[in-house]
Amino acid sequence: MIGFKRYFGLLLLLVAPFVIYELVNGAINNIDTAGKKDINNPIIWIIIIAIFTPIAIGLVIFGWYAFRGEYDRVPKSSKELKA
Amino acid sequence: MNQPGPPSSIRSVIAASSVGTMIEWYDFYIFGMLSTTISTQFFPRDNPTAALLSTLAIFAAGFIVRPFGALVFGRLGDLIGRKYTFLLTLILMGASTFLIGCVPSYESIGIAAPILVLLLRLLQGLALGGEYGGAATYVAEHAPLNKRGFYTSWIQTTATLGLFVALGVILLVKSNMTDAAFNAEWGGWRYPFWISVLLVGISIYIRLKMKESPMFSKLKAEGKTSVNPLKESFRKKANFKMVLLALFGAVMGQGVIWYTGQFYAQNFLETKCFIEFEQSRTIMLWAIAIATPFFILWGWLSDRVGRKWIMMAGMLLGIITYRPIFSTFLQESSTTYQLKNSREKERTAAVTKKELVKNDSVITTTAAVRLENGFSYTETKIDSINQLQFQQVQRSKTILSDKHLPSSTYWKFIGLVFILILYVTMVYGPIAAFLVEMFPTKIRYTSMSLPYHIGNGVFGGLVPFIGLLLTTTYPSDPLVGLWYPIGVAALCLVIGTLYLTNKIDRNIKD
């Protein structure tokens, strides 16, 4: 199980850049100043990509920690975090 | 606090926190629910600046300002205390909601109108970002150790009840006046905003009488509060790891399940199934009313069996059943399906309208149709005849709208929406206790607020946008928009199952 937890972390390392790639790709294909839908609006794409980038970086960090075995054992009490 | 306080005192803690949080949700929702009227009043589409401000008001408030509010007020709550911080968010929310209802229209004051509404909407987002973490922490820090899930689950009912009250108030106001009176510049659409000031006033009065959380008071008396909660939450590795785990292993999936069950479902019934306004709203109202007690049930159960598996089960059920449930909505609201089970009873005389658009003569024919089983709809046929090409019909399109479901289908839909909201209660009921138990007292407000608002505001808030994106990219499948919540919930389910612990942290006095 521990091995699986670690290798799943590697998968997450790949998921994050894929999500950003898909968002940028979606923006390029759908932004249309003449369009009337939300997905044609460049401002919305800028907001979404701007807010999703740090989240994707967070997922990369999470995946990296998982791969390094830092989630092999999760604290069972918030008391452990104080140490 | 490990010893239970007197029942009456705990009841007032829960009541004061829940009522205030419910009002904040109500305030936040009415803007979204009245967005069509608000757009007409403040954001005319023919003005590009106003259209830009409209986009910002809708998207920035949820995506950027809510997580930002979580940071601002979370930090404040860990520095000065829970009570004064969530009192401040309530005042901010109440004042900005009331003022939105007082802003004159674009026609009266020009571009100042959308600017003012945008600023007030951003303040609403900021306040909402700060409220939830405060209320959940405040109740959890008062609760006895074996009832934390049960007591905090009352806070969890507030988002759904806020939606319920907002739906109810708007429906009530709208049903008591004509559409013209409701949509007028100073018409009925403003009443829900004005009503807010009364609700907030009562809630402020109740909250002012409450005492600070006993755990925070103790920490403060001992001089052990955090000096820099943001730094401790996000730069101390042990804490930051838990923030990431909370987001990707629980709240991300909870956010999409929550949003799909309550908002996507309503939107789907209206825009994909074309069910008439009143029926689509009452379907939601009934389902919410029946499902709400389950928040308490799951919260209570989580004190006995742990939080993790209840939340994971809610996600799993959503993943498995979303497509069959939404497919049933689509199928059973179709005229083809209804005509298989019943026959046409009456058809009103068609009303025909002709107009000239460019070189086309457009003929619109509208008729109301009623079947024997009670199903009715409006049939609109649009024929375009090109004047230059020998009077040939170029295009013919039939639109079926304002569908009124027969009683049996109506109640079946209530049952299905109830199931969707039941999943919401499973993922959402235990989550406050779960988040509270992940972090120590001195950074609890900050640490739990940020993942919560990213999960709900960003992942949940993106459900309609990504849904539209997928529907546009793959137009042949009307259910394709569901792959986003299904995918996010599936990823969260795997992460949560692998990495989260089901252990209840009995002692959060740290």
Q: Measured between CA atoms, how close is B188 to chain A, in angstroms?
A: 28
Q: What is the b/e burial string over B32-67, where b = at least 16 CB atoms within 10 angstroms of the residue's CB?
A: ebbeebbbbbbbbeeeeebbebbbbbbbbbbbbbbb
Token pair for residue B60? 């920035």
Q: How far apart are CA A62 and CA B242, in angstroms?
A: 10
Predicted local confidence at residue B390, as pLDDT: 57
Cβ–Cβ under 8 Å, residues B342 and B373: yes
B241 and A CB contact within 8 Å: yes
Predicted local confidence at residue B388, as pLDDT: 64
A46 and B CB contact within 8 Å: no
Please indicate whether, in this complex, the C-beta atoms of B505 and A15 are within 8 angstroms of each other. no
Quickly list H helices, B227-366. Answer: 229-234, 237-246, 252-259, 265-271, 277-291, 293-305, 308-332, 335-341
Q: Least CB-CB distance to A81: which of B242, B248, B495? A: B242
B474 and A CB contact within 8 Å: no
Q: Measured between CA atoms, how close is B13 to chain A, in angstroms?
A: 23
Which chain A positions have a beta carbon within 8 Å of B462's beta carbon?
48
A66 and B CB contact within 8 Å: yes
Predicted local confidence at residue B2, as pLDDT: 46
A47 and B CB contact within 8 Å: yes
CA atoms within 13 A on the CB side of B462: 26
Q: Measured between CA atoms, how close is A81 to chain B, in angstroms?
A: 6
Please indicate whether, in this complex, the C-beta atoms of B498 and A8 are within 8 angstroms of each other. yes
Please indicate whether, in this complex, the C-beta atoms of A30 and B469 are within 8 angstroms of each other. yes
What percent of chain A stands above pLDDT 90?
58
Cβ–Cβ under 8 Å, residues B243 and B451: yes
DSSP letters, B348-384, are PPPEEEEEEETTEEEEEEEEEEEETTS-EEEEEEEEE
| Domain assignment of residue A63, given as a range | 2-72
A44 and B CB contact within 8 Å: yes
Q: Measured between CA atoms, how close is B137 to chain A, in angstroms?
A: 14
| Among B491, B234, B438, B240, residue whose Cα is nearest residue A65 | B240
Fold observed for domain B7-333+407-499 = Growth Hormone; Chain: A; (1.20.1250)
Cβ–Cβ under 8 Å, residues B446 and A7: no
Q: Measured between CA atoms, how close is A58 to chain B, in angstroms?
A: 7
Q: Is residue A18 part of a domain?
A: yes
Q: How far apart are CA B416 and CA B421, in angstroms?
A: 9
Q: Is residue A82 part of a domain?
A: no
Q: Is residue A48 part of a domain?
A: yes
Which chain B positions have a beta carbon within 8 Å of A77's beta carbon?
437, 503, 505, 507, 510
Q: Measured between CA atoms, how close is B415 to chain A, in angstroms?
A: 32
B476 and A CB contact within 8 Å: no
Q: How far apart are CA A53 and CA A32, in angstroms?
A: 22
Q: Least CB-CB distance to B468: which of A39, A59, A75? A: A39
Which chain B positions have a beta carbon within 8 Å of A52's beta carbon?
458
Q: How far apart are CA B105 and CA B102, in angstroms?
A: 9
Q: Measured between CA atoms, how close is B437 to chain A, in angstroms?
A: 6
Sketch the domain layout of chain B as residue ranges. 7-333+407-499, 340-404
Q: How far apart are CA B5 and CA A67, in angstroms?
A: 44
- Number of domains composing chain A: 1
Token pair for residue B320? 């498995």
Q: Measured between CA atoms, how close is B478 to chain A, in angstroms?
A: 17
Please indicate whether, in this complex, the C-beta atoms of B500 and A37 are within 8 angstroms of each other. no
DSSP letters, A17-69, are HHHHHHHHHHHHHH--TT--SGGG-HHHHHHHHHHHHHHHHHHHHHHHHHHTT
Let me know if B89 is exposed, middle or buried by CB neighbors in 10 A (0-12, 13-18, 19+).
buried
Q: Least CB-CB distance to B458: which of A1, A51, A61? A: A51
DSSP letters, B69-117, are HHHHHHHHHHHT-HHHHHHHHHHHHHHHHHHHTTPPPHHHHTTHHHHHH
- B216-224 LR contacts (CB < 8 Å, sep 24+): B216/B81, B216/B82, B216/B141, B216/B441, B217/B81, B218/B509, B219/B441, B219/B442, B220/B81, B224/B442
How confident is the model over B235-270, as pLDDT tens digits?
Answer: 999 999 999 999 999 999 999 999 999 889 988 998
A38 and B CB contact within 8 Å: yes
Which chain B positions have a beta carbon within 8 Å of A66's beta carbon?
499
Low-confidence ranges of chain A (pLDDT < 50): 83
pLDDT along chain B (510 residues), means of 10: 60 90 89 84 80 74 85 95 92 93 93 91 92 91 91 93 91 91 93 93 89 91 91 92 96 96 90 91 94 96 96 98 97 93 85 75 88 92 72 72 94 98 97 93 93 92 86 90 97 96 75
Q: Determine the residue among B68, B244, B454, B509 to mutate to test chain A binding: the one whose Cβ has the most chain A Cβ atoms within 10 Å.
A: B244
Q: Is residue A77 part of a domain?
A: no
**Strand-pair partners of B131:** none
Predicted local confidence at residue B7, as pLDDT: 60
Place of tokens 């993790």: B308
Which chain A positions have a beta carbon within 8 Å of B500's beta carbon?
74
Q: Is residue A78 part of a domain?
A: no
Q: Is residue A42 part of a domain?
A: yes
Q: Least CB-CB distance to A61: which of B59, B64, B244? A: B244
| ipTM exceeding the 0.95 mark | no
Helix B308-332, helix B483-499: angle, nearest 10? 160
Token pair for residue B338? 């209804």
Predicted local confidence at residue A75, as pLDDT: 83
Please indicate whether, in this complex, the C-beta atoms of A79 and B510 are within 8 angstroms of each other. yes
Q: How far apart are CA B495 and CA B36, in angstroms?
A: 39
B49 and A CB contact within 8 Å: no
B435 and A CB contact within 8 Å: no
**Close Cβ partners of B141 (under 8 Å, ≥ 6 residues apart):** B1, B82, B213, B214, B215, B216, B436, B441, B508
Phi-psi category of residue B314: left, alpha or beta, with phi > 0 → left and psi -120 to 50 → alpha? alpha
Predicted local confidence at residue B1, as pLDDT: 44
